[in-house]
Amino acid sequence: MFIIESYSLAVVFCLITMLCWGSWANTQKMAARTWRFELFYWDYVIGILLFSIVSAFTLGSVGHQGRDFLTDLKQADSSNVISALFGGVIFNAANILLSAAIAIAGMSVAFPLAIGLALVLGVLINYTAAQKGDPMLLFAGVALIVVAILLNAIAYKKKSMSGQKKVSTKGIGLCITAGVLMAFFYRFVAGAMDLEDFISPAVGKMTPYTAVFIFSLGIFLSNFIFNTILIKRPIAGEPTNYKAYFSGSFSTHMTGVLGGAIWGLGNSLNLIAAGKAGPAISYGLGQGATLIAALWGVFIWKEFRNSPRGTNGLLAAMFCFFIAGLGLVIFAGL
């Protein structure tokens, strides 16, 4: 299987993760013109699962290093399988709430609040479990990212006070709940792997490719419960049904599948990188997706258009603090 052997390549993989995790929601925005997010989300989940299977039988099975996917899957301990599955369930609960928040609040608000919160809590949780990297630089970087999140909140408040459409308390609550849940999923997936040795993992532990597949399976299976509830009792809008889902066009379905594949690519690269970078740094950099999503929301989807004077300065400062914070997180692993 393919294994990363240098910290610099691990950082590159984490930066690609950041791009993927911060960009997949564009497919939801594209589909939302004619498609409910609950219906989009099924295609998104299918895309994640399909990518994990392709990755497992390609990068996870080629080469002479480590165990191939099927061999690794057969020897995996049940406790580790359950851990990765549970990580998928937690992630799905968080991400489906995030998708609802995006539909209500927009990318430039939902991502900084939800994923920014997930980044801060997730780094703390993952560093406690595996203390890899300079803690001073790591947490200084996280502190700068917190400042960036606060600047985004102030910018949004100015926008709201200008008489533009306000995000409801429900939208903010969804963001916070999604962020707290999102902070915990990674630890369960990382805990199912042997982060110290991907070439000869401990017996019962899984390689990243196997863990990603089990994790994706947990997302898919839990979606029959979570998304079915939302289809019948949506957070916003009228109830829909599975008949509406199957009446969707091929291109509409493929938009959602593409979104899932983009997120799945980022997830796979991030967990592959965790062996060299450590879970706290790998997770923290990946969740820098907040910066990418905010860029999309501000410059492409124009979610802050016609905002009052001073808003652009706050957004510029937010981006600067995010970049500085991510830079410190990278240097924490050197």
Which of the four pLDDT bands, split at 50, 70 and 90, describes residue 69? very high
* Segment (H or E) for 322: helix 311-331
The set of long-range contacts for 7-12, using a CB threshold of 8 Å and a minimum separation of 24, is 7/276, 7/277, 7/333, 7/334, 9/273, 9/276, 10/273, 10/274, 10/275, 10/276, 10/277, 10/282, 10/333, 11/273, 11/277, 11/285, 11/330, 11/333
**Count: domains in the chain:** 1
pLDDT at residue 12 tops 80: yes
Is there a domain that residue 148 lies in? no
What average pLDDT score do residues 99-107 get?
75
pLDDT cut 90: percent of the chain above it: 60
Is there a domain that residue 110 lies in? yes
Entry pTM: 0.88
Range of the domain at 20: 7-130+165-287
76 and 207 Cβ atoms separated by less than 8 Å: no
Is there a domain that residue 94 lies in? yes
3-state secondary structure of 193: strand
Is there a domain that residue 169 lies in? yes
pLDDT at residue 40 tops 60: yes
Is there a domain that residue 257 lies in? yes
Tens of pLDDT, residue by residue over 214-241, are 999 999 999 999 999 999 998 878 899 9
Is there a domain that residue 146 lies in? no
Is there a domain that residue 295 lies in? no
Is there a domain that residue 79 lies in? yes
